[in-house]
Structure 1
Amino acid sequence: MVVFKGLGWRSALPLGVLLSGGALAASSAGTADLLFGLFWVVLAAAVFGAVASKLGVPAVVGQVLAGILIGPSVLRLVRPDDFLLSLAELGAVFLLFMVGLETRFRDLLSVGKEALLVAVLGIAFPLALGFGFGLWQDQGNVSALFVGTALVATSVGITAKVLQEMGVLDARFAQVILGAAVIDDILGLTLLAVVSGLGAGESMSAAQVALILGLSVGFVALVLAVGIPLVRRFQPRLRNLSLSRMFNVAIVVGLGVAALSTVAGLAPIIGAFLAGMVLAEVKDEVEFESKVHALESFLAPVFFVVVGLQLDLGVLGDPVVIVAGLILTVLAVIGKVAGGLIGARSMGRRQSLLVGVGMVPRGEVGLIVASLGLAAGVIGKQVYAEVLLMVLLTTVLAPLVLRALAPRPERDAPAA
């Protein structure tokens, strides 16, 4: 028993009650921090997204800048804790799920050749340029490979959101970008696994690399080969479900395939995109897309703000870092744009340029690669800062250029 005296009153409370009350207070404080952090993120996303749209700038640019402003670099209102990082990843999952719902598999098949060439060249060129840049800076082979791998990365979520905002997801160049992004993710993550192994001092045989690649490709093929016929077979039953129940089915499918994609070594956003494409086969007959869109409209902006939260501007104070980062940015843009211009040249110069620009943003994917290299001690803080500047510039500038170059839906329609 614990006794308190003071202020003219006397109270006796069991010690267990006091301890549980202390734990409850601590829990409440943690919940308050969590909610305030989410409040600032959602508020900043709404305000800066709206202002950016009003100025004719893609909302995602405003949201990334909002994250930088409220994050550790400037106002320090929010830090990218585990909760926000997890919520941001969920936002990316539902963004790509929604993009998948607006994409027909047969449309991607029609641009398969261009998408494959764009993806392969969009990996080969940046990897070679980044590796050469690292050697020019007198880095070791493995460190230079990490820089090249950071240049290989493509944040399809950023480009997909800009295309979605503009209403051009059904345009041919957009289909090439999405198809190339799936292939890019498969090849890029295989490359990251190999380079990470080298950074840890491990040797990786050709058979192991082939196994990683085979699992990724096999997963994509399996989802599409099994999922599309299956959803068509159950279409009559799905049509009889209420909106709420069909929405639940869609969410289960999206999250399930996203989770399974991680088992295959792919990013969960690729699984979500595939799940969306599977369900796109029945969306015209079964209503659920509006509810998915409402959920995505809340979660996706969180993802873009958190990308900004993770950008530490404090490491960019060295003029040497800024100059090297700008050079690296130019190389990053050249690598992807060249991949688009050559890989999609059959579509014409303007369309192929759009494809290349659409592959430029590095976003959170570039951050992940750089963070892995820094944590493993393969790259130093200066190189990390240079990659960080490249990620920031490609993430912010590419959507602006894409919006300026991309045709409006009515101009993109074929002539009668």
Structure 2
Amino acid sequence: MTWLHASVLLTFVFGGQALAAAEAETGGILLQLFYLIAAAVVGGWLFSRLRLPAVVGQVLAGVVVGPSVLGVALPSDFNRALAELGAIFLLFMVGLETRFSDLLKVGKEALIVAVLGIAFPMIGGYIFGAFQGYDSIVALFIGTALVATSVGITAKVLQEMGVLNTVYAQIILGAAVIDDILGLTILAVVSGLGAGEGFSGSKLLSTLGLSIGFVVAVLALGIPLLTRIRPALKRVALGNSFGVVLAVGLGLAGLAAQAGLAPIIGAFLAGMVLSEVKDEYDFENKVRAIEAFLAPIFFAVVGMQLNLALLGSGPVLIGGLLLSAIAVLGKLIGGYLGALSRGKRDAVVVGVGMVPRGEVGLIVANIGLGLGVVTQTVYAEVLLMVMVTTLVAPIALRALVPAPPVASGVKT
């Protein structure tokens, strides 16, 4: 056998082994994806039959198939990426069902709800940390973990119930955008303090300016531009170019991330811009189909990240439940006071709608853990708070929100 023949044989053998390993890895990923989707479908269906929010069933389904119970689906970069896409398409779809003009009508209330909904939980979280004996940096991280609302949970419940066109839903969505801008600005400052950089006024202003500038630019330029070029769009038949719609949604989600915002805010803004022409082009149902596939994966992955072992300690359980109470009351009081001008019932709904923390609280806790300023105990308490607010808010919304009138477009 010549060296050439030997090298060809070795290439064939080891190349075949690498191919087989890659195929086995792909098979494992697909099998885990099957478990996630199947569990989310069953959990969502079961809770819908029980007249409970489907998202709660999907989150609990993720807990069951995740490492805490069955362990057939494990956290990975792949399913986290799919979950992120699920959240992006969920808010993209919500944006398509939301008119910017409706948000403008509740702009004052949304701003007050966002500011009060940040102030009360942050102060409560800081006091909680100080009471437990943590230094000011740790207490600040705890307060920051309670700040930002995960609007994806609330938006899905409101979407399921068909009430996205109501005044209270518009206040929640508007407040969530402002909440994200202010919350992530606070996170940037607190992270800098945790890393030993000290307080930087210039960093705060640049982060805040970039975030606000992005939102204003998309809405102030995107909608008028789309209106102006609408005749040209008809000539190029944008409605048949679904890829263009996807590019706009994903592109703005990516740009939002570059601006320091959550990608879901960019997707939501993209949906609002495109909602101006959705009646003229056939793309809404196609976006809805992708959202219906990916959104349950997002909720299942949220549940899958719950580590029940961390919650076995009595002090952690008590601390986590106390932190959950602070988180719920902070948003409830802030939302209620901010939306009280719209009536007591709507004010309560707004407060409850701002309660879920979802992945936002986890991100804050992970950053603190990575910087070495947050302990495993604090991380577990924040984790419990995230799960409690994620599960309680949809159930409370379902109980509070009346069914919309049949065949009526009148806002309630």
TM tier relative to shorter chain: over 0.9
Residues 243 and 288 in structure 1, CA contact (< 8 A), matched pair in contact too: no
Aligned runs of 1:251-262 on 2, under 5 Å? Answer: 251-262=246-257
Aligned runs of 1:332-351 on 2, under 5 Å? Answer: 332-351=327-346
Match of 2:316 in 1: 321
Residues 246 and 287 in structure 1, CA contact (< 8 A), matched pair in contact too: no
Counterpart of 1:366, as a letter, is G
Distance 2:140 2:62 in 1: 29
Aligned runs of 1:238-253 on 2, under 5 Å? Answer: 238-240=233-235, 245-253=240-248
Deviations 1:359-410 (A, max 9, x none): 0011111111111111211111111111111111110111000111012111
Counterpart of 2:209, as a letter, is G
Q: Indicate yes or no: 2:371 matched with 1:376.
A: yes
Match of 1:392 among 378, 387, 391: 387
Q: Which stretches in structure 1 are left out of the alignment for 5+ residues?
A: 3-11
Distance 2:260 2:367 in 1: 16
Distance 1:156 1:415 in 2: 21
Q: Name the SS of the counterpart of 2:86 in structure 1.
A: helix
TM-score by length of 2: 0.96
Match of 1:290 in 2: 285
CA 1:240/1:337 → structure 2, altered by over 3 Å: closer, same or farther? same
Deviation at 1:356, TM superposition (A): 0.5
Counterpart of 1:281, as a letter, is E
Aligned runs of 1:77-156 on 2, under 5 Å? Answer: 77-156=72-151
Distance 2:98 2:57 in 1: 26
Distance 1:415 1:321 in 2: 44
Match of 2:226 in 1: 231
Stretch moving more, 282-291 or 103-112: 282-291
Match of 1:35 among 11, 30, 36: 30
Q: Indicate yes or no: 2:283 matched with 1:301.
A: no
Deviations 1:266-290 (A, max 9, x none): 1110000000000001111222101
Counterpart of 2:185, as a letter, is T
Deviations 1:207-252 (A, max 9, x none): 2201110000000000111110111122223335558733211101
Residues 140 and 190 in structure 2, CA contact (< 8 A), matched pair in contact too: yes
Distance 1:121 1:55 in 2: 34
Distance 1:313 1:55 in 2: 25
The count of aligned residue pairs is 407
Match of 1:47 in 2: 42
CA 1:332/1:288 → structure 2, altered by over 3 Å: closer, same or farther? same
Q: Indicate yes or no: 2:342 matched with 1:310.
A: no
Residues 238 and 286 in structure 1, CA contact (< 8 A), matched pair in contact too: no
Deviations 1:331-381 (A, max 9, x none): 101100011111111011110110000000111111111111112111111
Counterpart of 1:166, as a letter, is M
Distance 1:99 1:413 in 2: 17
Counterpart of 2:224, as a letter, is P
Q: Name the SS of the counterpart of 1:78 in structure 2.
A: coil
Residues 97 and 275 in structure 2, CA contact (< 8 A), matched pair in contact too: yes
Residues 91 and 265 in structure 2, CA contact (< 8 A), matched pair in contact too: yes
Q: Name the SS of the counterpart of 2:190 in structure 1.
A: helix
Residues 158 and 395 in structure 1, CA contact (< 8 A), matched pair in contact too: yes
Match of 1:276 in 2: 271
Match of 1:196 in 2: 191
Aligned runs of 1:166-185 on 2, under 5 Å? Answer: 166-185=161-180
Counterpart of 1:337, as a letter, is L
Distance 2:8 2:213 in 1: 63
Match of 2:358 among 355, 359, 363: 363
Deviation at 1:300, TM superposition (A): 0.7
Q: Name the SS of the counterpart of 2:199 in structure 1.
A: coil
Match of 2:66 in 1: 71
Distance 1:241 1:360 in 2: 44
Deviation at 1:413, TM superposition (A): 6.4
Residues 189 and 200 in structure 2, CA contact (< 8 A), matched pair in contact too: no
Distance 2:39 2:70 in 1: 12
Identical amino acids, percent of aligned pairs: 61
Q: Name the SS of the counterpart of 1:190 in structure 2.
A: helix
Distance 2:283 2:235 in 1: 12
Deviations 1:167-210 (A, max 9, x none): 00000000000000000000000000111111111123212201
Counterpart of 2:47, as a letter, is A
Counterpart of 1:409, as a letter, is P
Distance 2:411 2:166 in 1: 14
Q: Name the SS of the counterpart of 2:405 in structure 1.
A: helix
Deviations 1:300-357 (A, max 9, x none): 1110000001111110001111111111111101100011111111011110110000
Residues 103 and 169 in structure 1, CA contact (< 8 A), matched pair in contact too: yes
Distance 2:240 2:55 in 1: 31
